[in-house]
Amino acid sequence: MKKRRTIVVTGVCGGLGRVLLRRLMQDPDVDVVGVDKRNWVLDRPERFTFVRADLRRSNAEDVIRTARPWALVHLAFVSDQRVSAARRHDVNVVGTAKVLEWARHHGARRICVLSRAAVYGARPDNPSLISEDMPLKLGADWSEYSDLVEYDHLCRSWMWEHRDVEMTVLRPVHMVGPNIREGLLHRLLVRDPVPMAMGFDPMIQLVHEEDVAEAISLALTRGARGIYNVPGPGQLPLSRLLDLLHRRVLPLPHPLLAAADRLAFRVGRSTVSSAAIDFLRYSCLVDGSRIAAELGYAPRHSLRATIEAIPGAPSIVA
């Protein structure tokens, strides 16, 4: 008989957290304890316990101490621009350091944390495919992920320092799906028209929310240690994606686009900082060969199905 295992998931109320919960619940020998500062408003399945707690407070450690988890999945990351930069840093960096130590101290054998492929940055000198060994070049002035590089560095350093815990850092490309309401791509697509840098048409990669949940599950069950890019089923030009989604486009010269967006961001009319405009100019494509070889990961959703999972997307005729 398989031994029952408890998995603690932070940030469980987020879109990916809800998708991951459904995936983990497919194993009848797994119990899940979800932790989030937000309240859980959906039905609670059997073998799922929800605790409302702030990761910056000691009651979050009480949850982990009581659960004595076999594994921790850390999804809690604040990118909401309505939250002050100091508070975001306190949750994303200081809070993450605390959660990792609490999990190790209270017996977690495996830890999986979610970063983003955006940490590599969009630059004209990027290779055609970026491996996990490439340096992180995301500009520190990109407000949406101002803490992301520091968070990623923290997790990597912690992973190599504490070799008694099997830890993975996952870096998925642009996540899409009916539950995803965050990220640069989402913030661009909710605009009408969608701005584009005139003369530029970067290639982009998308991954379905359920494929990211599957990658997390594989990281836990395979006992992996290391850093893994999480790609989707392919790549396509940004202009082609917008065409398939029937989105209107506003091409602007890059200096004008950057200046206009900088002003809009400062007065609260835009949620995309000017530094993020680089992702409208240059590609940031990742190599997924490591996660395929070591974890057996392969996206289950086709590129067509992934695009159709974007909220409001029309059915794409093959």
In whole angstroms, give the CA distance from residue 117 to residue 299: 16
> Mean per-residue pLDDT for 81-89?
77
Residues of 105-140 as b/e, b for ≥16 C-beta within 10 angstroms? Answer: ebebbbbbbbbbbbbbbbeeebeebbebebebbbbe
The answer to whether the peptide bond before residue 314 is cis (omega within 30 degrees of 0) is: no
Over 90: is that where the pLDDT of 278 sits? no
In whole angstroms, give the CA distance from residue 314 to residue 318: 12
pLDDT of amino acid 147: 82
User: What confidence category does residue 145 fall into, taking pLDDT thresholds of 50, 70 and 90?
Assistant: low
pTM of the model: 0.93
> Mean per-residue pLDDT for 262-290?
75
> Mean per-residue pLDDT for 221-245?
95
pLDDT of amino acid 43: 87
